[in-house]
């Protein structure tokens, strides 16, 4: 049992103001693996006060020095990679090999992309040749509350902290109470890198407690939140009274549109993408729309691929998926699988209950439904587990209509060898991101969605801009 109770506030590890213990559960075993304390309002206020006091000095620090500190952070991050991998595997169930590569690797990827973007960014620039005495200055939004989820912990922590630090914001990080250990290691790294006291602060807590205190706090200028659409709505309402900037990266119900001319690996690629991280990704391609001439074969292939996906404990090395994060999520996924059966979708792989041989741990059978329609619950709700819903279509126009018929708009996927059709689809799909033929987005590409998938963008140049205010200055005097 790991016992870590301290918070990182104003450059120091400090004890919580009140005893409010929370057990972190290892989802592979259902046993407690750590004890943390959830912050009180006094802890939140102390962290915000530290960030507010540090803001003027950090904003005045030359951007080159802020970038240099993030570069130092990357060096330290790489020395702590195994610690991070073990923590995430233990607390949220990422298989250890996947944790070492994808979960940990996401952090260095984003930090390096921010540095590249920042070095090319003009934080102080002329308006244009037509207005020689006007300037545009980009300055920090201010004190930023960063609220991160459990499913891709370092991915989200670095997307927020890296951008905020380079932009000149000071910050208070509240990681998910389900996966706090990696964030506490990250706080140790921020301290070792030499960020000034108060620039980065960490308070553990839940959404109802510390999360609500931060989103409504009068001295917090911005909230950057990643999580469920339901929680994003609550944060927006709570933040409205203080008119703070709110950045939301929320849920998704991505369509993976597979045309009859798709490459031969398209269906297998889509199933494996859906199952990655045990389906616990907001940009998962959870609806596979397949053109009717290849639909029957696609269903057969999808079932075959899903049935070969191995499931096992997170600590085991090798290629497999682990458990989902906790009992609540497991129960929700079981209910939705049963709902799919009850509503008449054809179960072709998986189903309810744990996989064979696993009688303890929050394991879910890799599941595929065929012959669904877009009005079924499994096609409309974000399941957040290894469950794929397959829907047939006839024409390109029908595929667009089905894909866009969702309250979400995060990532859609297109599989076709017809370049003109792929480009048409990219223009017509209502989502913040579109990926085609298995090609992921490049370094520095913005991550974010439309509609109920949120607002704002993370990563690269656009991620920096979200933590910056634009100041227009007239009558500038040449120095």
Active site residues: 249, 282
d(CA 470, CA 34): 43
- Nearest to residue 258, comparing CAs of 416, 434, 370? 416
136 touches 127 (CB < 8 A):
yes
DSSP annotation string for 238-297: HHHTTT-EEEEE-----EEEE-TT--TTHHHHHHHHHHGGGG--TT---EEEEEGGGHHH
d(CA 439, CA 175): 31
404 touches 375 (CB < 8 A):
no
Tracing tokens 């053109």 back to the chain, one arrives at 291
d(CA 286, CA 412): 10
φ, ψ for residue 410 (rounded to 5)? -95, -75
Residue 49, exposed/middle/buried by CB under 10 A (0-12, 13-18, 19+)?
A: middle
Pairing of strands 131-140, 124-128: antiparallel
Six-digit token string for 45: 């206020």
Q: Sign of the C-alpha dihedral, residues 149, 152, 153, 154? A: negative
């Amino acid at each position: 049992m790991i016992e870590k109770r301290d918070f990182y506030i104003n450059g120091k590890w400090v004890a919580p103001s009140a005893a409010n213990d929370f057990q972190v559960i290892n989802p592979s075993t259902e046993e407690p693996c750590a004890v943390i304390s959830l912050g009180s309002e006094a802890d939140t206020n102390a962290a915000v006060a530290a960030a507010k006091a540090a803001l003027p000095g950090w904003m005045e620090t030359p951007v080159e020095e802020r970038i240099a500190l993030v570069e130092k952070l990357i060096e330290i991050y790489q020395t702590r990679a195994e610690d991070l991998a073990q923590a995430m595997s233990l607390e949220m169930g990422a298989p250890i090999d996947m944790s070492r590569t994808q979960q940990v690797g996401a952090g260095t990827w984003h930090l390096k992309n921010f540095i590249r973007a920042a070095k090319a960014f003009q934080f102080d620039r002329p308006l244009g040749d037509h207005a020689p005495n006007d300037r545009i200055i980009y300055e920090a939004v201010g004190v930023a509350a960063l609220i991160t989820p459990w499913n891709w912990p370092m991915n989200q922590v670095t997307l927020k902290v890296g951008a905020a630090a380079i932009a000149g914001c000071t910050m208070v990080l509240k990681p998910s109470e389900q996966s706090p250990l990696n964030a506490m290691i990250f706080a140790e790294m921020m301290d070792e890198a030499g960020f000034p006291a108060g620039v980065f602060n960490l308070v553990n807590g839940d959404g109802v407690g510390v999360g609500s205190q931060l989103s409504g706090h009068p001295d917090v200028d911005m909230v950057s939140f990643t999580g469920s659409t339901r929680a994003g709505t609550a944060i927006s309402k709570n933040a409205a009274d203080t008119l703070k900037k709110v950045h939301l990266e929320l849920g998704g119900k991505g369509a993976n549109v597979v045309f009859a001319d798709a490459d031969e690996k398209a269906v297998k690629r889509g199933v494996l993408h859906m199952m990655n991280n045990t389906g616990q990704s907001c940009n998962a391609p959870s609806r596979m729309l397949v053109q009717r001439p290849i639909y029957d074969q696609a269903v057969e292939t999808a079932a075959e691929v899903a049935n070969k996906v191995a499931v096992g404990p997170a600590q085991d090395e090798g290629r497999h998926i682990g458990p989902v994060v906790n009992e609540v999520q497991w129960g929700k996924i079981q209910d939705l699988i049963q709902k799919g059966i009850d509503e008449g979708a054809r179960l072709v792989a998986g189903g309810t209950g744990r996989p064979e041989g696993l009688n303890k741990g929050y394991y879910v059978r890799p599941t595929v439904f065929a012959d669904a329609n877009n009005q079924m619950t499994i096609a409309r709700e974000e399941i957040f587990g290894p469950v794929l819903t397959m829907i047939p279509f006839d024409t390109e126009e029908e595929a667009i209509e089905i894909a866009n018929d969702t309250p979400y708009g995060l990532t859609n996927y297109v599989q076709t060898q017809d370049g003109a059709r792929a480009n048409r689809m990219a223009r017509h799909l209502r989502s913040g991101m579109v990926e085609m033929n298995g090609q992921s987005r490049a370094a520095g590409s913005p991550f974010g969605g439309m509609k109920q998938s949120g607002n704002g963008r993370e990563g690269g140049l656009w991620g920096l801009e979200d933590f910056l205010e634009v100041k227009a200055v007239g009558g500038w005097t040449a120095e």
